[in-house]
Structure 1
Amino acid sequence: MIEEFIVFQKFNNQNAAKDFGNLMNLNQIEYLIENTSINFDPILSNNEFGKEYCVKIKKADFEKADTILRETAKAEIKALENDYYLLSFSDEELIEVIEKSDEWNKFDVELAHKLLKDRGKEITEHQISEIKKQRMVELSKPEESQRVYIIIGYVSAFLGGFLGVFIGWHLLTFKKTLPNGNRIYAYSENDRKQGNRILIIGVVFIVIWILYRIIK
Structure 2
Amino acid sequence: MKETYSVFRKYPTIFQAKELEDLLNQNNISTQLTDNIAPVDASFSGSTLLNEYEIKIQFEDFKKAELILENEAENLIDQVDSNHYLFDFTDDELYDILLKADEWSEFDYKLAQKILTTRGKSIDKDLLKALKNKRIEILAKPEGNQKPWIISGYILAILGGFLGIIIGYSLWSSKKSLPNGQVVFSYSEQDRAHGKIIFYTGVIILPFYIFFKIINLI
Q: Normalised by the size of structure 2, how large is the TM-score?
A: 0.88
Partner residue in 2 for 1:209: 209
Q: Distance in 2 between matches of 1:16 and 1:94?
A: 23
Partner residue in 1 for 2:197: 197
Q: Distance in 2 between matches of 1:82 and 1:126?
A: 28
Q: Which runs of at least 4 in structure 1 moved beyond 2 Å after TM superposition?
A: 35-38, 213-216
Which letter does structure 2 place at the counterpart of 1:121?
K
Which letter does structure 1 place at the counterpart of 2:23?
L
1:6-52 alpha-carbon deviations (Å, 9 max, x no partner): 221122222221111110011110001113347xxxxxxxxxxx782
Q: Normalised by the size of structure 1, how large is the TM-score?
A: 0.89
Q: How does 1:1-150 map to 2 (within 5 A)?
A: 1-37=1-37, 52-150=52-150
Q: Distance in 1 between matches of 2:79 and 2:64?
A: 24
Q: Distance in 1 between matches of 2:51 and 2:8?
A: 17
* 1:130 Cα offset (Å): 1.7
Contact 2:10 2:51 in 1 (8 A): no
User: Which is bigger in relative contact order (C-alpha 8 A, separation at least 6)?
Assistant: 2
Q: Distance in 2 between matches of 1:72 and 1:56?
A: 19
CA pair 37-178 structure 1, distance change in 2 beyond 3 A:
closer
Provide the alpha-carbon RMSD of the alignment: 1.6
Q: Distance in 1 between matches of 2:174 and 2:110?
A: 32
Q: Distance in 1 between matches of 2:96 and 2:214?
A: 60
Figure out how many residues of one structure are paired with residues of the other and give that number.
205
Q: Which runs of 5+ in 2 are unaligned?
A: 39-49
Q: Distance in 2 between matches of 1:144 and 1:97?
A: 24
Contact 2:6 2:182 in 1 (8 A): no
- Aligned-pair identity in percent equals 40
Aligned with 2:181: secondary structure?
coil
1:159-198 alpha-carbon deviations (Å, 9 max, x no partner): 1111111110001001111111010111000000010011
Which letter does structure 2 place at the counterpart of 1:116?
L
Partner residue in 1 for 2:152: 152
Contact 1:113 1:122 in 2 (8 A): no
Pick which of 2-11 and 110-119 moved more: 2-11
* 1:82 Cα offset (Å): 2.4
Q: Which runs of 5+ in 1 are unaligned?
A: 39-49
